[in-house]
Amino acid sequence: MTPVNRKGKRRTQRAATNAVDSTVDLTRLLDIVAAFARQTICVAGDFVLDEFVSGEISRVSREAPVLILRHRRSETYPGGAGNAAANLAELGARVLAVGVVGDDDGGRVLVECLRRRNVDTSRIVRVRDSVTPRKTRYLAGWTHTTEQQVLRVDREPGAILSDATRDSIARKARQAAKRADAVLVSDYGFGAATPELVKGLRAKCVTLDSRYRLLAYADAGAMAATPNEAELEAAYHDRIGTDLRKLEQLGERAVSDLGVKCLVVTRGKDGMAVFERAVQQNADVKTPVHIPIHGSDAPVDVTGAGDTVIAAFTLALAAGASYLEAAHLANYAGGIVVMKRRTATLTRAELEAALRQEATAQR
């Protein structure tokens, strides 16, 4: 039976495609990257402090069968919306951060981390008696071995944000959106990013990254979203695995349900799939484009890679890229950053170098 979309239009059922990359003009991508420094991006959402505690395995405890780590060093990085903001700043954009932190040590460290990266933090609200979301990863290893993550401890705010705090965030986001070329919304489930916030924005371009409630943003006004495959599966309570037909079915469904013009599904070592809303009257979504990963399929550390992807994607759209061009740049960015340790960022120079290297290889 021919499927019927929610608007009642019938479309021709097509077979799932094999992974295939579309032709991309690398010179054009370099021109887009050159325009990054002229863009202003508002990042609204859940700001998280990522902490990495490294230790050397000294012995097994006599108290319990656990390893004892001799503390070596502790490092802190902006996470969540903060990581997206840090990536945007490293890529050359002017960044306006809108969100909330607790009036605690974690909040102070997080804001200072962002300021050192030249992110405008004047619109980050500090909430008294609240806890700044913090993800602490404990890494163990010996002097000449690679560290391995052995434990992660998350500190999360226990209370729901008050109406007054939500109103303040929404007001600051609207003000920042008026000055920005695009708005990136990062929802990690801590309450700063909401569908209501997105609906209230009057922005030229709004992109969405929602960890736990993608479909709650249906018809909220986002132009594009960048879920990973697991988030798409969770949204529809279905399994994709290696079934490209299922991936395309869920991707097309998400484009329709969310009301977005583009959906970029990141798939780890299998690259990404790009779904664009069609302009033809007899179809809702163009034939999906499958982009193979850039670089190695054996990443060093995938922490925060999704933040890098949406940062590069959003900045490229603001600089005039098409959705497919923006997805290609995001794919390059993600491939670079997963070869770094910790919650990493990439620079505009690194992205340009990767594009030039690819152009040379093609010649």
Active site residues: 307
Q: What are phi and psi of 56, to 5 degrees?
A: -100, 130
* Spatial distance between the Cα atoms of 118 and 285, rounded to a whole number of angstroms: 39
Residue 74: count other Cβ atoms within 10 Å of its Cβ.
11
Is the separation of the CB atoms in 109 and 84 below 8 Å?
Answer: no
Q: Which tokens sit at 213?
A: 């409630």
Alpha carbon dihedral 342, 343, 349, 354, in 10-degree steps, equals: 70
Per-residue DSSP letter, 133: P
Q: Residues in the chain, how many? A: 363
- At 4, give phi and psi (nearest 5°): -120, 130
Cα separation, 231 vs 238, whole angstroms: 10
Least Cα distance to 88 among 209, 169, 245, 190 occurs for 209
Produce one character per residue of 76-101: b if its CB has 16 or more CB atoms within 10 Å, e if not: bbbbbbbbbbbbbbbbbbbbbbbbbb
Q: Which two tokens stand for residue 314?
A: 């959003």
CA–CA separation, 64 and 49 (whole Å): 30
CA 221 to chain centre: 18
Q: What does DSSP say about strands 262-266 and 182-187: parallel, antiparallel, or unpaired?
A: unpaired
Neighbours of 349 (CB within 10 A): 12
User: Residues 207, 226: contact at Cβ < 8 Å?
Assistant: yes
Residues forming a β-bridge with 43: 97, 184
| Residues 337/350, Cβ–Cβ less than 8 Å | no
Count of alpha carbons within 13 angstroms of residue 333, beta-carbon side: 34
CA distances in angstroms from 244 to 15, 22, 229, 327, 356, listed in the order given: 9, 17, 11, 19, 31
